Amino acid sequence: MAQLLKIVHENKAEKILRFLNYIIDFAFCYFLIIILYALVAFAYAIITGASFEEVATELGNINKYVDRFTTLALYILLMCLFEYLTKGRSLGKLITGTIAVKTDGTPLTIRYYFLSNLSRAIPFDFLSCLGQNGWHDTATDTRVVKKKAYEESKIQKTDLDNLGQ
């Protein structure tokens, strides 16, 4: 197990990649949430017979706390689903060639995806990745690594382990 921890540590993604992941994921989710709100407004307008403009105005006047909670819930749901379907990779991670992994090498679970994205609700969590490890990574015992280098290191370790047999 200590060897795998070493592989994870040696292949950690640089801080700039982590920050780019955040920016890309934030923009992507924001875009999707706007589209979801527009679709809901359109469907509501059709069902009630109100004009789209009236519904859009009502949505624009929603309580700011309801708006923030709904947006956060949608963000957590979208990111959790996206990372689950791509096995630890958000859009930002796909673009930057990184992946989230458990420090002990065990597979990520739906619980990880949920807790990781929920912990992003902590104010200034996005700045924590500029430190040693992000708060959401510490809370879930994961790290973001460079995917290609990490997988090559795992193959080399397996090959070395099998060499003596």
pLDDT digit string, tens, across residues 32-42? 999 998 998 88
Supply the pLDDT for residue 3: 57
Residues 113, 111, 75, 54: what is their CA dihedral angle, to the nearest 10 degrees?
150
Supply the pLDDT for residue 1: 47
pLDDT digit string, tens, across residues 120-160? 777 766 666 666 666 667 777 888 899 999 988 888 877 77
Distances in whole angstroms, Cα of residue 40 to Cα of each of 57, 59, 62, 123:
13, 10, 14, 28
Query: Cβ(71)–Cβ(65) under 8 Å?
Result: no
pTM to 2 decimals? 0.81
pLDDT digit string, tens, across residues 57-77? 888 888 999 998 999 999 999
What average pLDDT does range 1-18 have in this prediction?
A: 79
Supply the pLDDT for residue 164: 66
Residue 56 has pLDDT above 90, yes or no: no
Supply the pLDDT for residue 95: 96
- The total of other beta-carbon atoms located within 10 Å of residue 87's CB is 11
Supply the pLDDT for residue 149: 92
What average pLDDT does range 79-108 have in this prediction?
A: 91
What average pLDDT does range 87-98 have in this prediction?
A: 93
3 vs 114, more confident: 114
- Amino acid type, 63: N
Supply the pLDDT for residue 65: 93
111 vs 133, more confident: 111
